[in-house]
Amino acid sequence: MKRIPLYIVLCLFVLLSACTKPSEPYRSVYHHTPEANWMNDPNGMFFDETTGLWHLYYQHNPEAPVWGPMHWAHSVSKDLIHWEYLPIAIYPDANGTIFSGSAVIDRANTAGFGENAIIAIYTSAGETQNQSISYSLDGGRTFTAYEGNPVLMGDIPDFRDPKVFWDEQSNQWTMVLACQQEVRFYGSPNLKEWTLLSRFGAEYGEHGGVWECPDLVQLKDERMKEEGDKWVLLLNINPGGPFGGSATQYFVGNWDGKTFTCEDAPEEIKWLDYGKDHYATVTWHNAPDNRIVAIGWMSNWQYATIVPTVAFRSQNTIARDLSLYIDDAGEARVRVVPSPESWAIKGKSIKRPTDACIIELHLTGEQDAVITLSNNKGEKVTMTLDVHSHTFSMDRTASGDCSFSHEFAAVTTTPLFVQRSSYTIHLFIDHCSIEAFDGDGAWAMTNLVFPSEPYNHLEVQGGEATIYEIKN
């Protein structure tokens, strides 16, 4: 029998591979996604001013599109929109798999690894959960594990997700650590030896699940005047979110270098986002211009492993800048707005919505407004501004594929917090997600959607809309 030339075999193989490659109709255009397989919590984010790169590490299973042995995967970006995938940065080792954590630039060489070393602080998840460090001398590309790991031993089952920052008040490194349903604060001169400073949270906030991925940031708003700067403790919880599953709560108060004192009532719960798909929110270390820039995992543990994507699972939210404002009740709340880098994708106005676009809504505030996004299959997302109950809601019960989980079909609702004579709302739409923002940052709402074809119709009652394309 005549042999088929090798080059023909190779061409047929390439053609067959292309034809059988899984379709990715839900792959985002301007959100960070893993190149392939599973992703959850963002980790170790820092901005390198020498290269202008935003570094994003993330929880990753390189072998399958479901949660598994955790690694720190690595992406970098010049603009928080276009991401370059780099090799995995930190692999599991003898101390365990690599759970969530943070990274810092050790400018003063406090740890002894070298000036400006990038030091990652993370949870080693073995038989117990302990905290370890690794250092990088090439700008965060590759890491070497510290031979003295772990640097902080756990004494309870859930002892994880260290967020570390340099505290000017106490002149030392401070670690915020999630410990079941409280946080602990530790101090260290060198990132290797840690001393317990204080605890917070036993009687505050939502306790419907395990506390995870804490972050402590100092926020300000010039418009607050005499109120001045405040400290905000971001705290993720699963389950216990306002609409089931995972979510991000926060506490406003003060930090004196040792203790966090919350000014909110113990029973008060403040949510950073009022959708179902906003979790593991943490901020970048060393963001330019002293900005506080946050990003979250855009999913929910109720159904994260079974959403209808094939080659990859999960994406991150757009970058968001955080500050403070005072609501109508006199409460200090976190202002959440799309970062300037997120706005840079806004292109020219177009007539119809597409699978990736930005919609700017101007609603009168004198009557209820109803906004409906739909497609030719009759799938739709209905959003309602209720001026009587002072709420904004998003109904995704008929949005497309909801069959994979009975927890997915839902209506999410946020109070407006600040009443106005008119309202501006921005919708960032990208293939399988809708992120809604109050025009002045009073609230945010993030929800996944899985339509069988893009929403290409928009109807607005009680206002008007302008649709913008996404620039490349």
Q: 272 - beta bridge partners?
A: none
pTM to 2 decimal places: 0.94
User: Which of 318, 338, 358 is the C-terminal boundary of a domain?
Assistant: 338
pLDDT in tens, 367-410: 999 999 999 999 999 999 999 999 999 999 999 999 999 999 99
Contact 74, 89 (CB under 8 A): yes
Q: How many CB atoms lie within 10 A of CB 114?
A: 12
201 and 274: one domain? yes
* Confidence at 13, pLDDT banded by 50, 70, 90: very low
Amino acid in the structure at residue 21: K
Q: Rounded to an integer, what distance in angstroms lies between the CA atom of residue 219 and that of residue 221?
A: 7
User: Which of 298, 314, 338 is the C-terminal boundary of a domain?
Assistant: 338
pLDDT recorded at residue 10: 36
Residue 153 lies in a domain: yes
pLDDT recorded at residue 137: 98
411 and 303: one domain? no
Torsion of CA 321, 325, 328, 330, to 10 degrees: 140
Residue 22 has pLDDT above 60, yes or no: no
Residue 100 lies in a domain: yes
pLDDT recorded at residue 235: 98
Residue 74 lies in a domain: yes
User: How many residues are given for the chain?
Assistant: 472
Contact 118, 139 (CB under 8 A): yes
Buried b (16+ CB within 10 A) or exposed e, 396-435: beebbebeeeeebebebbbbbbbeeeebebbbbbbbbbbb
* Confidence at 229, pLDDT banded by 50, 70, 90: confident
301 and 381: one domain? no
Domain containing 425 — which CATH number?
2.60.120.560
* Confidence at 9, pLDDT banded by 50, 70, 90: very low
330 and 351: one domain? no
Residue 254 has pLDDT above 50, yes or no: yes
pLDDT recorded at residue 105: 98
Q: What is the mean pLDDT of residues 407-415?
A: 98
Phi, psi values for residue 225, rounded to 5° = 50, -110
Question: Which residues are the active-site residues?
Answer: 41
Q: Rounded to an integer, what distance in angstroms lies between the CA atom of residue 193 and that of residue 292?
A: 27
Residue 297 lies in a domain: yes
DSSP 229-250: -EEEEEEEEES--TTSS-EEEE
Phi, psi values for residue 340, rounded to 5° = -55, -35
216 and 147: one domain? yes
Phi, psi values for residue 227, rounded to 5° = -65, -35
Residue 18 has pLDDT above 90, yes or no: no
353 and 254: one domain? no
* Confidence at 11, pLDDT banded by 50, 70, 90: very low
Q: What is the mean pLDDT of residues 221-246?
A: 86
Q: What is the mean pLDDT of residues 248-270?
A: 97
Q: Rounded to an integer, what distance in angstroms lies between the CA atom of residue 410 and that of residue 405?
A: 11
Residue 16 lies in a domain: no
Q: What is the mean pLDDT of residues 220-242?
A: 83
* Percent of the chain clearing pLDDT 70 (strictly above): 93
186 and 235: one domain? yes
Domain containing 129 — which CATH number?
2.115.10.20
> DSSP alpha helices (H): ranges in 312-413?
340-343
311 and 269: one domain? yes
Residue 126 has pLDDT above 90, yes or no: yes
188 and 124: one domain? yes
pLDDT recorded at residue 228: 63
Contact 126, 135 (CB under 8 A): no
276 and 417: one domain? no
Q: Rounded to an integer, what distance in angstroms lies between the CA atom of residue 402 and that of residue 383?
A: 18
Residue 67 has pLDDT above 70, yes or no: yes
Q: Rounded to an integer, what distance in angstroms lies between the CA atom of residue 419 and that of residue 151?
A: 49
Amino acid in the structure at residue 274: Y
> Across all residues in the chain, what is the average pLDDT?
94
pLDDT recorded at residue 135: 98
User: Which of 320, 338, 356 is the C-terminal boundary of a domain?
Assistant: 338
Quote the number of domains for the chain: 2
Q: What is the mean pLDDT of residues 285-307?
A: 97
pLDDT recorded at residue 148: 98
Residue 447 lies in a domain: yes
333 and 356: one domain? no
Residue 77 lies in a domain: yes
pLDDT in tens, 447-462: 999 999 999 999 999 9
pLDDT recorded at residue 17: 37
121 and 204: one domain? yes
For the chain, report the end-to-end CA distance as a whole number of angstroms.
52
Residue 16 has pLDDT above 70, yes or no: no
Residue 13 lies in a domain: no
Q: Which domain holds residue 312?
A: 30-338
Residue 8 has pLDDT above 90, yes or no: no
